[in-house]
Amino acid sequence: MQNIAVIGAGYVGLVTAAALAETGNRVLCVDSDTEKIRKLRKGSVPIYEPGLDKIILKNKKLKRLLFSTSIKEATVSAQIIFICVGTPSRQDGSADLSAVQKVSQEIARNIREYKVIVEKSTVPAETGEKIKRTIEMNNPGGVSFDVVSNPEFLREGSAMQDAFHPDRIVLGVASERAEKIMRQLYKPFKAPIVATSINTAELIKHACNSFLATKISFINAIANVCEKIDADVEKVALAMGLDTRIGKEFLRPGIGFGGSCFPKDVDAFIHLAAQKGYDFELLKAARKINQERKDVFIKKIEEALWIIKDKTISVLGLSFKPDTDDIRSSVAIDIVRLLLGAGAKVKVYDPKAMERAKSLLKGATFCDNPYEAVRKSDCMAILTEWQEFKELDLKKIKKILRQPVIIDGRNMFDPQQMRAMGFVYKSIGRSGK
Ligand code: UGA
């Protein structure tokens, strides 16, 4: 059992806190948002993440998981302190690290004995060094400490599964003492550990997210070519994925990658590389392909409807991917905005993300179920691949649409079957002939 503190009760912080409490540690989770902490203390979990609330409630009851707003309390009580605060993008694409700096200063002021300070937020390379310097400057007693970089690889929607069964754990360490403590902490997870320098660990996170984002843009570029020569991108992705050197994950074509990580991390890595004197053209191209996905999708709607103005378009899916209520940098939200901007009447439905989307999509009509959204629409657009949409009664959909037009941004259905049912069906990278 270790005493742990997790600073920042966002996605990464809450999942980390829950997973470490579940493996028997005593975890104090801290956030400056008093309302959030008040709710968590009462047992209300502020985000939708399958399985998370159960683990939080269980460990809260067992008094292994506690909540506070005090970094001082966290620093005094814990030996290992995880920094999981937000690192949003600045206008120029670089990461805003002011929260990381503030937390580091406050930890430093309260250190009275040796601590391991773990950077888990997604940060640009060399942030570990800056955290170390900040703590040294604000730690007048000169108490010894170690900074560790321990990047997070969890995916929203499957975060608990990812937290308990990671492919690997990366530890950027500068001392044997810190490495030993961290290895001990992660023993119950039974995952391979890659121990390396702090800079290398930080670069691993940049490299992983950028590679995955590039993989998605690659298959989307292939989809563009498939459309031009009447080939089927799904078959291309299947055959590519069966090559074990390539692997089948992250080869799903669609409307492009969104979310709070990939777009921001790609920007930050391009920015960091440029600062260091390297023009990361490959990554810039991946970003450009991604930015163009929205226009590719809108064009498909235009091809089917001719003129978008005054048409009623129903949009199914607003979250940036299924099984989450997160709409941060969701391509679906951007597409709804573009449709509204083009003068369409937009009716939207999402199983989980409607509450969050309401303030962002003022002109849209929010519907209680997919059928209500689709009724009397000129076209149904699928933007997030929720399982619920796969199970739609398509005969009913056909009856209640004003025109039997479906534009599928996530390739959820078989083109031939859809056409056999009488739909005008357009999807990504396949003609279905
Ligand atoms: C991503 C990474 O997958 C995690 O490993 C990482 O820890 C996390 O970022 C982070 O840096 O914190 P996440 O943003 O939760 O996780 O979501 P993903 O499942 O990676 O999806 C990102 C976007 O790519 C979504 O918009 C999704 O629709 C899109 N995507 C994904 C595709 O368009 N095609 C695919 O084949 C896969």
59's CB contacts (< 8 A; 6+ apart) are 18, 21, 22, 27, 65
pLDDT value of residue 274: 96
What phi, psi does 352 have (nearest 5°)?
-130, -20
Pick the CATH number of 211-426 from 3.40.1780.10, 3.40.50.720, 3.40.50.620, 3.40.50.300: 3.40.50.720
pLDDT value of residue 432: 53
295's CB contacts (< 8 A; 6+ apart) are none
Determine the Cα–Cα distance for residues 296 and 409; give it in Å rounded to an integer. 10
- Stated pTM of the model: 0.94
Q: Of 149, 154, 117, whose CA–CA distance to 10 is shortest?
A: 154
Instruction: Give whole-number Cα distances, 17 to 60, 145, 202, 289, 361, in Å.
Output: 11, 21, 21, 36, 33
- Domain ranges for the chain, please list them: 3-195, 211-426
Determine the Cα–Cα distance for residues 111 and 4; give it in Å rounded to an integer. 14
What value does the mean pLDDT take over residues 387-407? 97
pLDDT value of residue 7: 98
Determine the Cα–Cα distance for residues 277 and 3; give it in Å rounded to an integer. 42
Q: Would you say the CATH fold of 211-426 matches that of 3-195?
A: yes
**Alpha-carbon radius of gyration of the chain:** 24
Determine the Cα–Cα distance for residues 6 and 17; give it in Å rounded to an integer. 6
Q: Which CATH number is 3-195 given?
A: 3.40.50.720
Mutate which of 47, 212, 218, 296 for ligand 1? The one with the most ligand atoms within 8 Å of its CB, which is: 212
Determine the Cα–Cα distance for residues 98 and 161; give it in Å rounded to an integer. 31
For the annotated catalytic residues, the residue numbers are 261
Cβ atoms of 371 and 400 within 8 Å: the answer is: yes
The fraction of the chain above a pLDDT of 70, given in percent, is: 100
Tokens 């620093």: give the residue. 75
Q: How far is the CA of 167 from the centre of ligand 1 (A)?
A: 15
pLDDT tens-digit map of 77-134: 999 999 999 988 888 878 899 999 999 999 999 999 999 999 998 899 999 999 999 9
Amino acid in position 293: R
pLDDT value of residue 431: 76
State the CB neighbour count (10 A cutoff) for residue 89. Answer: 17
What residue's CA is closest to ligand 1, atom 5? 153
Regarding the beta carbon of 280 and ligand 1, being less than 6 Å apart is answered no
pLDDT tens-digit map of 191-242: 999 999 999 999 999 999 999 999 999 999 999 999 999 999 999 999 999 9
The fraction of the chain above a pLDDT of 90, given in percent, is: 92
What residue's CA is closest to ligand 1, atom 19? 155
Amino acid in position 345: K
**Six token digits for residue 108:** 């430093």
Determine the Cα–Cα distance for residues 40 and 27; give it in Å rounded to an integer. 14
What value does the mean pLDDT take over residues 248-272? 95
Determine the Cα–Cα distance for residues 361 and 346; give it in Å rounded to an integer. 10
Determine the Cα–Cα distance for residues 255 and 230; give it in Å rounded to an integer. 19
What residue's CA is closest to ligand 1, atom 18? 155
Position 433 pLDDT exceeds 70:
no
Determine the Cα–Cα distance for residues 171 and 261; give it in Å rounded to an integer. 20
pLDDT value of residue 95: 84
| Average pLDDT score over the chain | 95
**Six token digits for residue 354:** 């409607």
